[in-house]
Amino acid sequence: MLDLTIMQAKIIYTFMIHYKDESGNTSKGISKNEMQKYGIDKNTFRTLEDYFLKNYFLRLSGFNRSGLRPDDKYFQITVLGILAFMKWQLGMKNPPPFLHRDFFPLLFKYEDELGKHYGEILDYVLEITLERIDVQFEAELKLGKKILFDGNLIEGIKIPTEMMDITIFRNYDELIMPKIPISNKPRMSETFKNYNQKIDDNITERFTFLLFFNLLHIGISNRAATNCVMRFLYEPDKKPSKQAKTSSEKDNQVLDEIFTRLLEGTKKVFSIINNDEELHSLMKSSLLEITNMLANRKSIQAIYDKLN
């Protein structure tokens, strides 16, 4: 599950902001012994290490062995770690989470345009998108010392239809957890490549698709649009207009603003998708996959048909 405590979120954020080194290249990660430099007790991190690795919020990126001291492990952030932090940040009602340009390049590319057309509705769609995607680790299965099942990641996304949300699952059974080699050498170090880059890319594509799909869905589905309107009307702190109050007149002002943003935003999203070859291919293939799986697919088919 994409859940973090305050301390876990602090640690994940530290890895996020140090994903790149000073030269702009992907860093080798942060070692356990470097944690205190960033205000995190290394013993605290040690107690959380397994949780981060098992849920694939962090990956082991290397190690350094020096003499008789324990190996110093290096860790790097993953796309799941960033999604977990974004979900935590929204739940804490902090400033809207930023989209990491290295992990969500297509979303980052159009973030300003989408924000201009949707305003705070974009935060609402981001929130429901994070609620509609979940990736959990299914632990390995052992019989004595024999491993019967290595463990994998199970991804689930909720696709809204006319009557209900339907969950579609996908397994990532090729997840590789690198291990430090057993050796008598007193000094050695190694940097592990990201063996799970394909998994990272697939999850990035899935989240990108789901966010754009949800933007389109609230623009063409009466039920989704109504849910959006109710959210802003009955949660005053989330109204898109600071001037809007609880009176009928002001509520109508909020309604007009929301529907205008949804109408113009939907047109803009279709335009963005139809003019971006990579994004267009992603949306078409993902929608085709879903329509082939679902019997009740009227609103999904409507989106598919409007893509060139």
Does 127 map to a domain?
A: yes
Q: What is the pLDDT along the chain (308 residues), one digit of tens a residue?
A: 678 999 999 999 999 999 988 888 888 899 888 888 999 998 899 999 989 998 899 999 988 877 656 568 899 999 999 999 998 988 887 665 667 788 999 999 999 999 999 988 998 999 999 999 988 877 654 555 555 445 678 888 998 877 778 888 888 877 777 777 666 666 667 777 787 888 899 999 999 999 999 999 999 888 888 888 888 877 655 555 444 444 667 777 878 888 889 999 999 999 999 999 999 999 999 998 888 776 556 677 778 788 87
Does 1 map to a domain?
A: no
Angle at 43 between CA 37 and CA 45, to 5 degrees: 75
Strands 72-77 and 30-31: antiparallel
Does 275 map to a domain?
A: yes
Classify 129 as helix, strand or coil.
helix
Distance CA 221, CA 223 (A): 5
> What interhelical angle do 121-131 and 222-234 show, nearest 10?
110
Does 37 map to a domain?
A: yes
| CA atoms in the 13 A half-sphere facing the CB of 113 | 17
For residue 115, the enclosing domain spans 6-305
Distance CA 272, CA 75 (A): 36
In the block, which residue shows the tokens 């930023």?
A: 98
Tell me the whole-structure pTM to 2 decimals: 0.83
Does 76 map to a domain?
A: yes
pLDDT at residue 244, rounded to an integer: 45
pLDDT at residue 68, rounded to an integer: 53
pLDDT at residue 128, rounded to an integer: 93
Domain count for the chain: 1
Closest CA to 254 of 243, 266, 263: 243
pLDDT at residue 243, rounded to an integer: 46
Does 216 map to a domain?
A: yes
Does 280 map to a domain?
A: yes
pLDDT at residue 207, rounded to an integer: 95
pLDDT at residue 149, rounded to an integer: 46
Q: How many residues does the chain have?
A: 308
Does 51 map to a domain?
A: yes
pLDDT at residue 170, rounded to an integer: 86
Say which residues have a Cβ less than 8 Å from residue 112's Cβ, sequence separation at least 6: none
Lateral strand order in the sheet of 187-191: 30-31, 72-77, 58-66, 187-191
